[in-house]
Amino acid sequence: MPTPRITPCLWFNGPAQDAARFYCSVFPDSRITTITRYAQAGREQHGRTPGSVLTVGFELGGQPFIGLNGGPQFTFSEAVSFQIPCRDQADIDRYWNALLAGEGHPGQCGWLKDKFGLSWQVFPDELLAWIGDQTTPASQRVMLAMHSMGKLDLAALRQAYAGA
């Protein structure tokens, strides 16, 4: 039996469709796939108007997601984040700036929260190999350099890894 495809479900308090549109504008090869709407039944529990958006199915680079307008009971935290390994500094800059647009909040070490409160990690794809063995001096230098940064600087991280 094949392993089922895992689909993250993101809980929003109303802006699921706006969030899906935003994420689809940031990531190439992305699209909204489905929209379901609240019916009369169940609307009382969530305080939604019949016909308003209940869920939005969307794909980011082929990865399926569901945005659910479930209400104010739950919010995002850094306990869950999405990683974006980038080829070069131009990709790091593009994703960092796009995800911060419209009231996002930068964090440390390549982390940020977008305007919907979802956490992202934007980093060079080499980073995981560089910090994989924390006992090496090169790895320790990269960690020290990374901890001094908000948006990651690929050239500076490469210099730290090389010992320059």
State mean pLDDT over 127-156.
96
Select from 121, 60, 123, 129 the least CA-distant residue to 89. Answer: 123
Report the DSSP pairing between strands 53-60 and 31-37: antiparallel
Q: Identify whether the C-beta of residue 60 lies closer than 8 Å to the C-beta of residue 30.
A: yes
Q: Are 116 and 105 in contact (CB under 8 A)?
A: no
The residue ranking higher by pLDDT, 94 or 50, is 94
In the chain, DSSP assigns E strands to 9-12, 31-37, 53-60, 63-69, 81-86, 105-106, 111-113, 119-124
Domains annotated on the chain, with CATH = 9-69 (3.30.720.100), 81-162 (3.10.180.10)
Beta strands across the sheet bearing 119-124: 81-86, 119-124, 111-113, 105-106
Q: Average of pLDDT values for 92-108?
A: 97
Sorting pLDDT into bands at 50, 70 and 90, what band is 45?
low
What's the mean per-residue pLDDT of the chain?
Answer: 94
Read off the tokens for 4. Answer: 């089922």
The average pLDDT across 58-62 equals 96
CA distance 130 to 86: 14
- pLDDT average, residue stretch 97-112: 97
Nearest to 82 by CA among 116, 132, 55: 116
